[in-house]
Amino acid sequence: MKGLKKRWNITSNWQLVVIFVVFAITGSTSAKFAGPLMEIIGIEKEATNGWVYWPIRLLAIFPLYQVFLVFFGWLFGEYQFFWNFEKKMLKSMKLGFLLRE
Percent of the chain with pLDDT over 90: 46
Confirm whether 79 is domain-assigned: yes
CA dihedral 22→23→25→26, nearest 10 degrees, is: 110
Confirm whether 4 is domain-assigned: no
CA distance 19 to 73: 8
pLDDT surpasses 80 at 95:
no
How many structural domains is the chain composed of?
Answer: 1
pLDDT band at 101 (very low <50, low <70, confident <90, very high): low
Range of the domain at 83: 14-96
Cβ(48)–Cβ(60) below 8 Å: no
Confirm whether 42 is domain-assigned: yes
CA atoms within 13 A on the CB side of 35: 6
pLDDT surpasses 90 at 89:
no
Confirm whether 28 is domain-assigned: yes
Confirm whether 50 is domain-assigned: yes
Helix (H), strand (E) counts: the chain: 4, 0
